[in-house]
Amino acid sequence: MITNILSVSDCTDQTSLSDFSPSDKPWDIHASERDQVRNLYLESGHPYARRISDCSQWLDFALTSTDSDEVAFKLQSSKFCRVRHCPVCQWRRSLKWRAKFFQVLPQIREVYPTARFIFLTLTVKNCELADLRSQITIMNKAWDRMAKRKSFPALGWVRSLEVTKSKDGSAHPHFHCLLMVPAGYFDKSGGYLNQSEWSDLWQSALRINYTPIVDVRTVKSKPGVEGDGIAAAVCETLKYSVKPDDLVSGSDWLLGLTKQLHKTRAVAVGGVLKQYLADLEKEPDDLIHVDESSQSGEELGRLRFDWRYEKKQYTT
Ligand SMILES: [Zn+2]
Write the pLDDT tens digit of every residue in 58-82.
Answer: 999 999 888 777 888 999 999 999 9
Q: Cα-flanking dihedrals φ and ψ of residue 210, to 5°? A: -125, 165
Ligand 1 centroid from CA 91, angstroms: 9
Say what the pLDDT of residue 91 is: 96
Extended beta strands in the chain, E state: 2-4, 58-65, 70-77, 116-123, 156-165, 171-181, 214-219, 267-271, 299-308, 313-315
Ligand 1 centroid from CA 80, angstroms: 5
Lowest mean pLDDT among 95-99, 111-115, 123-127, 283-287: 283-287
Ligand 1 centroid from CA 316, angstroms: 21
Ligand 1 centroid from CA 109, angstroms: 34
Ligand 1 centroid from CA 124, angstroms: 30
Q: Give the model confidence (pLDDT) of 164-192 as tens digits.
A: 999 999 999 999 999 999 999 998 788 99
Residues in the chain: 316
Ligand 1 centroid from CA 185, angstroms: 42
Ligand 1 centroid from CA 89, angstroms: 4
Ligand 1 centroid from CA 83, angstroms: 6
Ligand 1 centroid from CA 55, angstroms: 5
Ligand 1 centroid from CA 34, angstroms: 7
Q: Is 117 helix (H, G, I), strand (E, B) or coil?
A: strand
Say what the pLDDT of residue 225 is: 61
Ligand 1 centroid from CA 128, angstroms: 27
Ligand 1 centroid from CA 19, angstroms: 23
Ligand 1 centroid from CA 100, angstroms: 20
Ligand 1 centroid from CA 299, angstroms: 28
Ligand 1 centroid from CA 111, angstroms: 37
Say what the pLDDT of residue 5 is: 46
Say what the pLDDT of residue 6 is: 44
pLDDT of residue 96 exceeding 70? yes
Ligand 1 centroid from CA 67, angstroms: 34
The answer to whether 122 touches 175, Cβ cutoff 8 Å, is yes
What is the pTM (predicted TM-score) of this model? Answer: 0.91
Q: What distance in Å separates the CA atoms of residue 312 and residue 228, rounded to the nearest whole number?
A: 35
Ligand 1 centroid from CA 174, angstroms: 24
pLDDT band at residue 213, thresholds of 50, 70 and 90? very high
